[in-house]
Amino acid sequence: MVADLTPSDDVVTFARTFEPRVTLIDPEPVGQFRNIMLRLPSLARAPLVVVMSSGEPDRLTPVIRGLPFLAKADVCAPAIRRAVAAARGESAAQAESG
């Protein structure tokens, strides 16, 4: 399932309604990102959040640095699977097997 939403309450409403397993979120603007990140974990079936940005991961705030990261230029299904697998502590082979 794919949805392109502005960083707002719509993200939380979408996650509550459709219960995606993974949510890719751009951390800009930071204030709205923080608001979303405070609310998503409280959902009954909270998605795993993967941060996607065109910026360097080491330049992101500490809270964001603790999340799985995916460069915008690398967004594709295999890269998303690898980011999710890494967040779950799984191997690259497990990620590729789907």
pLDDT along the chain (98 residues), means of 10: 80 92 85 86 91 79 78 90 88 64
* Joined tokens for residue 71: 């460069």
Secondary structure letter of residue 24 according to DSSP: E
Per-residue pLDDT, 93 = 67
Structure confidence at residue 25 (pLDDT): 87
Backbone angles phi and psi of 72, in degrees to 5: -55, -40
Predicted TM-score of the model (pTM): 0.77
Residue 37: predicted pLDDT: 86
Strand 69-71 and strand 48-53: the pairing is parallel
Distance, in Å, from the CA atom of 5 to the CA atom of 92, rounded to the nearest integer, reads 29
pLDDT at 92 (0 to 100): 63
